[in-house]
Chains A and B, each alone.
Chain A
């Protein structure tokens, strides 16, 4: 039952570098100019989710593993960062490292369990593990239960940059997210990434070529978890808050939706998807109950008629890789 998630977008590799480079330049330019037009807190939120979705995409888009429990890493990293910054008064860079490291450790444990099964089972197991840790977060003292950890200080980055300043914080988030983005891009184009894609196409064949695919999968899982954790840590500092929302399964659903809308297995898709979904949640909030319905309908539409996602469709139309 080791089927490929979808027929990959056929591309001409020689165009790849150029189109990705151009699109990246445009993206950076837009993001640099955006805070003059758009509410910066919104932008920072979308950026955090963009990184989260990219990390998620690393797993589903390039290894073909659908994790339904990525909120686990995002949320727990966010808790630990918030706790480290508030209770231990760690500077932001250390608090982020604490959160991200937590996600990495959780990734090793959850990944070790989950990659024993494939396909749908993998999805269900990751979901169940995340839900277990959700209940744990609900019960644990340090998370503040329903209240979450509120009033997290942003602190001074390297003891020097005051992150309470909007612009400084924005630049900081932008730099970290772009670094994460480039790291992921680097990974998927490395020999390691090629093996991952081979696993996605046909795991049995990859095994027969002598690769220990389990290890590759686990490593990809941990990487994805760690970067999700980085996103969660940033998010906690942006909102100065870590809460149950971040570990709830709907968060895993959201990130799945972002990636699906943008385009599974595309470089820029998750970023576009994250901005769209965050915007949708923000600007449709006044529709109240309908947000859920709309999100669900978008999900269904994507699966039925729009499987390549926005960026995937554009890339296919332009015959480039994005």
Chain B
């Protein structure tokens, strides 16, 4: 095995791959944020809590209904997405004509409520969720032992991201979404029920977060605070990528996961901060973010 800057290539490739796994979560979450932001002009601070709710939904489905991982992968996002629909209808819709900062504050408050409730009921030391049997074990890639489940996370997240991209950029329904992002008033005057689309879009973005939560459940413990720390990193990812494009959100998510992984090899002390430092640099060079549109 050769070495790069004194680091065995083994460790390097291993960390790169791990970075990609983390990137999967960043990408799914920032994608959801981008989809929501596009239609609602709201930064969904509840996103972290909804990610957590996804994980809890998987856990509770298993505990109380005996429903395993595979069905949960579909059911949990639908359930949590439905709560998103309710949130949009009850709360966000009433703020549409106000400054988007109110949306941020509202979703922040909701995040506190949700996290508090879950802490209240489930404590905080985390609840276990097993890797599904069919994905147990792993394979030795030579440079590292890659658990099958983690490989699955990369594949699934990539697939969901690309499917979402395709759906938005290449389909009829997606053209409605893009058009409504640009000029909702006119799209509505073309006979399309934009408010319903907004509601469903929010539900969809929330469902993406919940899906990420289900995917995370077997890797991390299911715990009420799992979302709140992650969400701030994802915000930084979003600022770096800019809210310009769906692809931007996906690419930035994966790329920053990898960068973070590399930092863990070369300069572990900075692994928490590297994304924020990149954010500062990107802001200096390209205030609109890497994929953002100015103006």
Contacts and interface: CB of A to CB of B under 8 A. Distances in A.
A256 interface: yes
A303 interface: yes
A292 B119 contact: yes
Contact of A290 (B98, B104, B116, B280): B116
Nearest to B94: A304
A292 B236 CA distance: 24
Contacts, number: 137
Contacts of A3: 98-100
Given A249-B232, A290-B120, A5 B283 contact: no
B187 interface: no
Interface string B270-288: 0011001101100110011
B265 interface: no
Binding site of B, secondary structure by majority: helix, strand, loop or mixed? Answer: helix
A139 interface: yes
A123 B37 CA distance: 14
A258 to B, nearest CB: 13
B158 interface: no
A297 B109 contact: yes
Given A113-B280, A132-B273, A135-B272, A253 B112 contact: yes
Interface in A261-302: 288-300, 302
B100 A120 contact: yes
A249 B229 CA distance: 10
Contacts of B42: 120
Binding site of A, secondary structure by majority: helix, strand, loop or mixed? Answer: helix
B99 A6 contact: yes
B115 interface: yes
B273 to A, nearest CB: 5
Nearest to B271: A135
Contacts of B111: 296
Of A132, A292, A300, A303, most B-chain CB atoms within 10 Å: A303
Interface in B94-108: 94-95, 98-102, 104-106, 108
Contact of A303 (B95, B112, B119): B95
Given A124-B239, A129-B276, A289 B116 contact: yes
A307 to B, nearest CB: 7
Interface in A1-42: 1, 3-6
B43 interface: yes
Contact of B104 (A120, A289, A300): A120
Contact of B106 (A127, A249, A303): A303
Contact of A119 (B91, B101, B232): B101
A211 interface: no
Interface of B: 37, 41-43, 91, 94-95, 98-102, 104-106, 108-117, 119-120, 232-233, 235-236, 238-239, 269, 272-273, 276-277, 279-280, 283-284, 287-288
Q: Which 10 A-B pairs have the closest CB atoms?
A: A299-B109, A296-B112, A292-B116, A132-B276, A296-B113, A293-B116, A289-B120, A128-B236, A300-B109, A116-B287
Given A66-B105, A132-B276, 10 more contacts: A116-B287, A128-B232, A129-B279, A131-B236, A132-B280, A256-B105, A289-B116, A292-B116, A299-B110, A302-B105
24 contacts: A3-B100, A4-B99, A66-B105, A117-B288, A119-B99, A123-B43, A124-B43, A127-B235, A131-B232, A132-B273, A135-B273, A138-B272, A253-B112, A289-B120, A292-B119, A293-B113, A293-B120, A295-B116, A296-B110, A297-B109, A297-B113, A300-B91, A303-B102, A304-B91
